[in-house]
């Protein structure tokens, strides 16, 4: 299943830089290390990650839908094009 309205996804640079690429964030730091080591993506080129996440929102497949205290959570798996075929799970 595709993400409903994935083409309308809103991903803020605040979330990308402050969470996903923040090596000091309590849970985001683990993601930041992976993005840096596997893809060379850091806060300095956060626009690259934002573009990838936007593309994943349209092209990726929903996996593990669940309910949280904030509402429905849909995780999306998508393979980043390239020789490594790394799987990116959106936020």
Over the stretch 7-24, which tens digit does the pLDDT of each residue have? 999 999 999 999 999 999
- pLDDT on residue 84: 56
Over the stretch 57-88, which tens digit does the pLDDT of each residue have? 999 999 989 999 999 999 999 988 765 555 55
Token code pair at residue 59: 């092209």
Over the stretch 23-59, which tens digit does the pLDDT of each residue have? 999 999 999 999 999 889 999 999 999 999 999 999 9
Residue 91: is its pLDDT beyond 80? no
Single pTM value for the model: 0.80
- Return d(Cα 37, Cα 45) in angstroms, integer: 14
Residue 87 φ then ψ, to 5°: -90, 130
């Amino acid at each position: 299943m595709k993400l409903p309205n994935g083409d309308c996804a809103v991903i803020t640079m605040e979330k990308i830089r402050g969470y996903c690429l923040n090596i000091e964030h309590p849970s985001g730091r683990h993601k930041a290390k992976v993005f840096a080591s596997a893809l060379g993506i850091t806060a300095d080129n956060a626009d690259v990650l934002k573009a990838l996440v936007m593309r994943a929102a349209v092209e990726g497949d929903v996996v593990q839908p669940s309910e949280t205290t904030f509402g429905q959570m849909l995780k999306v798996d998508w393979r980043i094009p390239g020789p490594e075929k790394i799987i990116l799970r959106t936020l």
